[in-house]
Structure 1
């Protein structure tokens, strides 16, 4: 028989609960399960890439989008789909630089902007903190260099007849249109009339003696748009109207009831300040700066057909002043072709090509009206319409770029 103390010890051992036995592998597995709750989660990020607002469509399909971590230096790339959407599927929380780029060749740019010039567009957001999946796509709008420039849109030069049969030319105007994809500031823009007759006005009329100098255009009077650099913005598809006299020529006592235009809302007028006060100064329309004036009491464009040039130059005083051959006191200013922004030429009739004053490099053709004081105007044709923006034809050939219309249309357009 067992002693009592041994019996008590044996009973106690039977009541103990056995301790579980773990292998090293099992412990590691358990540790792994515990750490899984601390894993860093990733999420998807969408980037919506848009073309500039003045382009024909919004979605920038084919754009290359780069998502760069500013903390780790790593980068991921995605290409935007047909809707301009680029998706990144495994993005870690952090700070990112987001960039997009798209290169368009000339045909692609023409379809989107109306300008056949290759261009590269870019956009960047330098510091975007992403900690959770964005509810909406991150939007980037591309931007690039300006395509296109200012062009001469309309030149009303023929004048009109008064009720008594007299002649009236104070209602002439020139309209300059922004054909570019971005705002252009017209501050400092120069406008001038080309020297020389428009045709065989009388038996003794001879062409301009400067025709052989095809690298420059020779001008008489020069006017300048005022402003210090950013005071005269012209938005894409917008324009500025420059009047000879900024009044409603149809109703003003100084006007002509038969005139076809109201220029009381012109942007500028040319005022030639004189002692005799012969030139009218409209109190409501700002004046251009008179730089050089070699005409009469006002800036009269030849009613038989003018050559008009818009250009930019650091200093008009630095341009060459040239004596006209065969004269003793008639001077003109030589404007090199590379300074010219745009040019327009109208001649007396279809047989007046020998009298061209504007080099072919600037305007290879010309237009002509049916006569003088007939109220007709020369207006640039519309090439295409992109959203609210008109893109005007600009082939440097006035014969195809312009049309003669029966009445002037300041700030108006023809059909595409």
Structure 2
């Protein structure tokens, strides 16, 4: 789609005594703060009651974790030392739905809440967690590698998609999309559709007729940028010839391995951002490709401010309804993060490779989902709380390098 010149993450509500953490005072003493925490119900729910609620407060300077389950309805009082805290809540919820009662899991998260003074009031938004019944993103190797001579090498990035369920899943028709927006650049996009849809800059689809590519429980498949033996060109890279699929663009200077099926480019060609400014989702397409292209365009506008001057901008891309999305991971850079670019119901956190922009130490590192448990048959269960900050290990060695 062409750019045209023309003439957002629902933030977790935190009240009272919040400060910027960019210049945090590391001299917090043993002073105690009495905290009144209120959990805010997910939107549009009535007749709400909670059970099995648990909360953890992790002090970011010391690493000390304080846990509690002492909720009365959706309120908790607790005394903590002054400091900067990561707060995470998990539990179950009952609510009225169509004349009956429905049950679901909920979670809430705030990466940094600064607490000082004798008392503090904090509120935390809760979001419904979807039940996992399809693939999840196990790993994203987006940084690429460097040659022994220190030059940036292209083409060896990959996605690792895992069957975290107890049934056979089919990769056929699975969509993978890269975000249009960047986690390092927050703009007031109009209209803001993030609560309903994911704006995509690239979308590719696994080929197949529906049952062509079965993936057993506990198994994975790789989508490679280029499914070749990269070690022939860079000894620090990876042999990707065993990938299940590869991205390929016919009208570009791209490498094609005819032994590996190509992903179908639904919208634009997949060019994986190697600094981690963008986010990714996988989704199921419940309509035809032609119907998607006809009915899911997204035209947005915003004002680009440079040097105090405002320039009206806009673009037309495609969006994927959140109800189609089965997993998401937000990526960013520690020093540059501004917002997540998915609805928090899909992912309320983010992960990274690189602590500063263009971090030279990021090469040869990936983000990998944590293992929650392992079954007696060797099948591992991966952590999936819809919070990439908690679910993923940042800056780790890519699994295909092991």
The answer, yes or no, to whether TM exceeds 0.5 is yes
- State whether structure 2 residue 339 is matched by structure 1 residue 355: yes
Equivalent in 257, 275, 282 of residue 257 of structure 2:
282
- State whether structure 2 residue 239 is matched by structure 1 residue 258: no
- State whether structure 2 residue 302 is matched by structure 1 residue 317: no
Alignment correspondent of 1:267: 244
Does the 8 A contact of 2:352 with 2:395 survive in 1?
Answer: no
Cα deviations across residues 308-348 of structure 1 (Å, max 9, x unaligned)?
11001223324421234147773221111111011111102
Alignment correspondent of 1:376: 365
Alignment correspondent of 2:217: 236
Q: Distance in 1 between matches of 2:336 and 2:132?
A: 36
Alignment correspondent of 1:403: 393
Alignment correspondent of 2:152: 167
Q: Distance in 2 between matches of 1:181 and 1:362?
A: 22
Greater alpha carbon shift after TM alignment, 318-327 vs 306-315: 318-327
C-alpha distance 168-355 of structure 1, shift in aligned 2 (>3 A):
farther
Alignment correspondent of 1:393: 383
CA offset at residue 262 of structure 1?
A: 1.9
Equivalent in 137, 151, 165 of residue 180 of structure 1:
165
Q: Distance in 2 between matches of 1:256 and 1:331?
A: 38
Alignment correspondent of 1:9: none
Secondary structure at 1:180 match in 2? coil
Q: Distance in 2 between matches of 1:284 and 1:178?
A: 24
Alignment correspondent of 2:123: none
Cα deviations across residues 250-280 of structure 1 (Å, max 9, x unaligned)?
22xxx42222x22111000000110xx4011
Unaligned runs of 5+ in 2: 1-91, 93-102, 106-130, 303-311
Q: Distance in 2 between matches of 1:374 and 1:213?
A: 31
CA offset at residue 164 of structure 1?
A: 3.1
Does the 8 A contact of 1:241 with 1:410 survive in 2?
Answer: no
Q: Distance in 1 between matches of 2:346 and 2:155?
A: 28
Does the 8 A contact of 2:173 with 2:205 survive in 1?
Answer: yes
Q: Distance in 1 between matches of 2:204 and 2:142?
A: 17
Greater RCO (Cα-Cα under 8 Å, separation 6 or more):
2
- State whether structure 2 residue 204 is matched by structure 1 residue 223: yes
Q: Distance in 2 between matches of 1:241 and 1:186?
A: 11
Equivalent in 304, 307, 313 of residue 279 of structure 2:
307
The structure with the largest alpha-carbon Rg is: 1
Cα deviations across residues 87-136 of structure 1 (Å, max 9, x unaligned)?
xxxxxxxxxxxxxxxxxxx9xxxxxxxxx999xxxxxxxxxxxxxxxxxx
Q: Distance in 1 between matches of 2:383 and 2:295?
A: 30
Q: Distance in 1 between matches of 2:188 and 2:207?
A: 31
More helix by share: 1
Alignment correspondent of 1:42: none
Secondary structure at 1:177 match in 2? strand
Alignment correspondent of 1:140: none
TM-score for both structures, normalised by structure 2: 0.58
Matches within 5 A, 1:148-163: 148-163=133-148
Secondary structure at 2:230 match in 1? coil
Instruction: Give the superposed CA RMSD.
Output: 2.7
Secondary structure at 1:399 match in 2? helix
Does the 8 A contact of 1:117 with 1:147 survive in 2?
Answer: no
Alignment correspondent of 1:22: none
Matches within 5 A, 1:138-149: 148-149=133-134
Q: Distance in 1 between matches of 2:325 and 2:334?
A: 25
